[in-house]
């Protein structure tokens, strides 16, 4: 009897592995790219389910090894869908949280914008630290110490 492989034997297994690897790598990117392995895993699961249904219709035409491979691929794809689905939900939750925090801050600034008075801003003219007038108003005095006053008198005539 001539046995053949199921149509999704190698492809659904590869799609499941790729979806898991990309899902674990996507965790480093805060789940931004987790939708891609989620789509890949769904495609792999649909392909595996079609092949298992085809095996159920005609089990004599296929080997048990190919059915086992497709069953393993189906489990891998289900795990990838659950894992990547959780990552996508966490990303959406974080996006909603940070979006709410950001919009609250922006709306608070808009509410306070009407109370903002331009005349109350910091003016350098009223600052006492950087006042230029104190340098011009004070009188400058010359040094009153003479060099001869500082020298010690010579007692021995040396």
* pLDDT tens figures, 16-45: 999 999 998 887 777 778 899 999 999 999
CA distance linking residue 106 with residue 125, whole number of Å = 32
**Once rounded to an integer, what is the mean pLDDT over residues 139-145?**
59
Q: Please determine, for residue 61, whether its predicted confidence score (pLDDT) is greater than 70.
A: yes
Residue pair 6/55 in contact by the 8 Å Cβ criterion: yes
What average pLDDT does the structure give for the chain?
Answer: 79
Name, in order, each residue with C-beta under 8 angstroms of 87's C-beta and a sequence gap of 6 or more.
23, 26, 27, 31, 34
Which has the higher per-residue pLDDT, 28 or 111?
28
Chain centroid to Cα 35, Å, comes to: 15
CA distance linking residue 57 with residue 21, whole number of Å = 33
CA distance linking residue 53 with residue 47, whole number of Å = 10
Q: Please determine, for residue 74, whether its predicted confidence score (pLDDT) is greater than 90.
A: yes
CA distance linking residue 89 with residue 84, whole number of Å = 9
Q: Is 62 helix (H, G, I), strand (E, B) or coil?
A: strand
Domain ranges of the chain: 9-120
Number of Cβ atoms within 10 Å of the Cβ of 137 = 8
Q: Please determine, for residue 60, whether its predicted confidence score (pLDDT) is greater than 90.
A: no
Q: Is 141 helix (H, G, I), strand (E, B) or coil?
A: coil
CA distance linking residue 30 with residue 90, whole number of Å = 9
Residue pair 8/65 in contact by the 8 Å Cβ criterion: no
């Amino acid at each position: 009897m001539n046995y053949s492989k199921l149509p999704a034997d190698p492809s659904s297994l590869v799609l499941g592995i790729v979806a898991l690897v990309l899902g674990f790598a996507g965790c480093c990117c805060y789940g931004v790219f987790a939708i891609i392995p989620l789509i890949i895993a769904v495609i792999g699961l649909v392909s595996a389910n079609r092949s298992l249904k085809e095996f159920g219709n005609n089990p004599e035409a296929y080997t048990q090894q190919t059915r086992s491979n497709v069953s393993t691929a189906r489990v891998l794809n289900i795990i990838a869908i659950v894992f990547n689905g959780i990552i996508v939900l966490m990303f959406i939750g974080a996006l909603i949280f940070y979006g709410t925090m950001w919009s609250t801050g922006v709306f608070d600034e808009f509410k306070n914008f009407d109370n903002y008075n331009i005349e109350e801003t910091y003016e350098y003219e009223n600052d006492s630290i950087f006042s230029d007038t104190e340098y011009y108003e004070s009188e400058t005095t010359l040094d009153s110490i003479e060099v001869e006053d500082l020298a010690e008198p010579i007692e021995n005539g040396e």
